[in-house]
Amino acid sequence: MWIVLLAALSGLSVLSLFVGVIDVSLIDIWQDPETFHLFAISRGPRTVAVVITGGALAICGGILQMLVRNRFVEPMTAGTGQGAALGILLVTLYAPALPILFKMVLASVAALVSSIGFLAIVHRLPPTQPLLVPLVGLIYGGIIGAGVVFIAYQADLLQYIDIWMNGEFSGVLQGRYELLWIVAAVAGLSYLAADQFAIVGMGRTASINLGLNYTQVVVLGLLVISVVTALTVVTVGMIPFVGLVVPNIIARLAGDNLRMTLPLTAMTGALLVLASDIAGRVLRFPYEIPVASVFGVLGAVVFLWLLYAPRRHAQ
CB-based burial of residue 165 (10 Å sphere; 0-12 exposed, 13-18 middle, 19+ buried)? Answer: buried
Residue 307, pLDDT > 70, answer no
Residues 272/299, Cβ–Cβ less than 8 Å = no
For 284, other C-beta atoms within 10 Å of its C-beta total 9
Lowest mean pLDDT among 1-15, 25-39, 264-278: 25-39
**Spatial distance between the Cα atoms of 165 and 315, rounded to a whole number of angstroms:** 39
Query: To the nearest whole percent, how much of the chain has pLDDT over 70?
Result: 90
pTM: 0.83
- Please report which confidence band the pLDDT of residue 22 belongs to, taking 50, 70 and 90 as the band edges: low
**Spatial distance between the Cα atoms of 271 and 44, rounded to a whole number of angstroms:** 16
For the chain, the distance separating the N- and C-terminal CA atoms, rounded to the nearest angstrom, is 15
Question: Where along the chain do its domains lie?
Answer: 48-308
Instruction: Say which CATH class 48-308 falls into.
Output: mainly alpha
Backbone φ, ψ for residue 166 (5° rounding): -135, 90
Nearest CA-CA partner of 240 in 138, 311, 94: 138
Q: What is the mean pLDDT of residues 214-222?
A: 83
pLDDT at 23: 67
